[in-house]
């Protein structure tokens, strides 16, 4: 764990038996109906910042042996499921460029703002003349390194997209909330991608959000980015995998598998055989950034109306969430150097 982890939310306080007042709360709020105002976002961020800096805890003697299980327990799949239900049951089908996709982006940005982040929308055009957007936020780290946690929130019609990919979105949101008042070693960038799914019959017409995000990264940002995880479809199926196209650095996939093995999580490598990949790790991997896709498979309701929240398995979401959360929260200098 990060020994400088700071705590001021009920979930953190409960785990460490510390009572703290003044938390902004961990409840899930309904989507805002207006665009975010920059002033409102920075004001919220300021409040969170002052809370965070006023409550610092001393490092524990042996973080790996003593504190990591407690930190792992902080990940709450039921919070992730609240996001899944909102996206699938309230917003529903949200294909690239649609009003519903924008509504989902607003919901995500609204949640991040509640937790003190200052999210921004990254607009990008689609070849059919419409446009989509990513939602991007970050928690600043203590080093110059960066690490990206990503999940797409669009769907393939007519699916309500609970597992694909309300689950990945929910897990990344839950991790963003958990990290909202910590000082990670690497800056953690949360990217919620629009337009991941194919928009027509051309198998290359997908991953627009992640391709736009990578295209906008500076040379310095690419150099500083130690890794990227795409969390995509982690709520159903018998087999848990870390996947890559094997066309970029394989350090992150190896590290994730090793992390899983050390903690008794059954997880194996499976290649992503798509010519242009099957999830948002594609652009990062092709840019030479250590990238990996975490997935439970197969889901028979994939891209159908049957992909509802009630069909998602909370235990699968929990396993994937704990793997990603545990790995990311333990990302220190030694782990970053293994990725380089
Ligand atoms: Zn997906």
CA of 201 to the centre of ligand 1 (A): 16
Distance CA 6, CA 74 (A): 13
pLDDT-based confidence at residue 100 (cuts at 50, 70, 90) = very high
How many angstroms separate the alpha carbon of residue 280 from the centre of ligand 1? 8
Kindly give the distance from the C-alpha atom of residue 206 to the centroid of ligand 1, in angstroms, as a whole number: 11
pLDDT surpassing 70 at residue 131: yes
CA of 166 to the centre of ligand 1 (A): 9
Distance 251 CA to ligand 1 centre (A): 23
Give the separation between CA 67 and CA 98, rounded to whole angstroms. 44
Q: Give the Å distance between the CA of 157 and the centre of ligand 1.
A: 12
**Residue pLDDT, tens place only, 301-317:** 999 999 999 999 999 99
State in Å: Cα 282 to ligand 1 middle: 12
**Could you tell me the distance, in angstroms and rounded to a whole number, from the CA of residue 298 to the centre of ligand 1?**
12
DSSP string, 108-135: HHHHHHHTT---EEEEEE-TTS-EEEEE
What is the per-residue pLDDT for 106? Answer: 98
pTM over 0.75: yes
Confidence at residue 104, expressed as pLDDT on a 0 to 100 scale: 98
The Å distance, Cα 238 to ligand 1 centre, comes to 17
Q: 61 pLDDT exceeds 80?
A: no
pLDDT score of 133? 98
d(C-alpha 119, C-alpha 113), whole Å: 7
pLDDT for position 213: 98
Measured in Å, residue 220 CA sits from the centre of ligand 1 at: 29
For the chain, the distance separating the N- and C-terminal CA atoms, rounded to the nearest angstrom, is 20
Token pair of 182 as six digits: 């910590």
Q: How far is the CA of 279 from the centre of ligand 1 (A)?
A: 6
What pLDDT does residue 38 have? 40
User: What is the token pair recorded at 292?
Assistant: 């990996």
Report CA(250)–ligand 1 centroid distance (Å).
Answer: 21
- Interval 189-233: pLDDT, tens: 999 999 999 999 999 999 999 999 999 999 999 999 999 999 999
Residue 197 CA, ligand 1 centroid: distance in Å: 7
Q: 168 CA distance to ligand 1 centroid (A)?
A: 8
From ligand 1's centre to the CA of 233, what distance in Å?
A: 6
| Packing angle of the helix pair 314-329, 251-262 (nearest 10 deg) | 110
Mean pLDDT on 63-83: 78
DSSP letter at 273 equals: -
Q: Which residue has the higher pLDDT, 4 or 217?
A: 217
CA of 84 to the centre of ligand 1 (A): 13
Task: Kindly give the distance from the C-alpha atom of residue 139 to the centroid of ligand 1, in angstroms, as a whole number.
Answer: 25
- In the structure, what pLDDT confidence band is assigned to residue 71 with cuts at 50, 70 and 90? confident
For 10-339, CATH number out of 3.40.190.10, 3.40.630.10, 3.40.50.20, 3.80.30.20 equals 3.40.630.10
């Amino acid at each position: 764990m990060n020994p400088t982890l700071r705590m001021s939310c009920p979930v953190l306080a409960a785990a460490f038996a510390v009572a703290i007042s003044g938390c902004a709360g961990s409840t899930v709020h309904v989507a805002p109906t207006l665009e975010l105002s920059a002033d409102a976002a920075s004001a919220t961020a300021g409040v969170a910042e002052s809370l965070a800096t006023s409550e610092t805890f001393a490092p524990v003697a042996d973080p790996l042996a003593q504190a990591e299980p407690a930190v792992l327990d902080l990940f709450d799949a039921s919070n992730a499921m609240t996001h899944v239900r909102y996206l699938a049951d309230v917003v529903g089908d949200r294909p690239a460029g649609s009003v519903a996709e924008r509504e989902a982006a607003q919901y995500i940005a609204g949640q991040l703002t509640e937790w003190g982040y200052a999210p921004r929308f990254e607009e990008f055009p689609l070849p059919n003349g419409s446009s989509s957007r990513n939602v991007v936020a970050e928690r600043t780290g203590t080093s110059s390194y960066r690490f990206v946690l990503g999940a797409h929130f669009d769907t393939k019609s007519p699916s309500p997209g609970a597992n694909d990919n309300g689950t990945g979105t929910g897990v990344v949101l839950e991790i963003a909330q958990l990290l909202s008042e910590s000082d990670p070693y690497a800056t953690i960038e949360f990217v919620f991608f629009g337009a991941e799914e194919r928009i027509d019959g051309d198998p290359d017409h997908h991953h627009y959000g992640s391709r736009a995000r990578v295209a906008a990264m500076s040379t310095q940002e690419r150099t500083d980015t130690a890794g990227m995880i795409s969390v995509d479809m982690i709520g159903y199926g018998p087999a848990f995998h870390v996947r890559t196209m094997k066309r970029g650095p394989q350090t992150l996939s190896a590290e994730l598998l090793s992390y899983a093995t050390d903690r008794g999580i059954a997880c194996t490598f499976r290649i992503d055989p798509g010519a242009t990949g099957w999830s948002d790790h594609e652009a990062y991997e092709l840019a030479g950034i250590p990238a990996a896709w975490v997935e439970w498979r197969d889901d028979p309701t994939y891209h159908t109306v049957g992909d509802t929240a009630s069909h998602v398995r909370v235990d699968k979401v929990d396993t994937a969430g704990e793997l990603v959360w545990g790995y990311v929260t333990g990302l220190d200098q030694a782990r970053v150097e293994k990725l380089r």
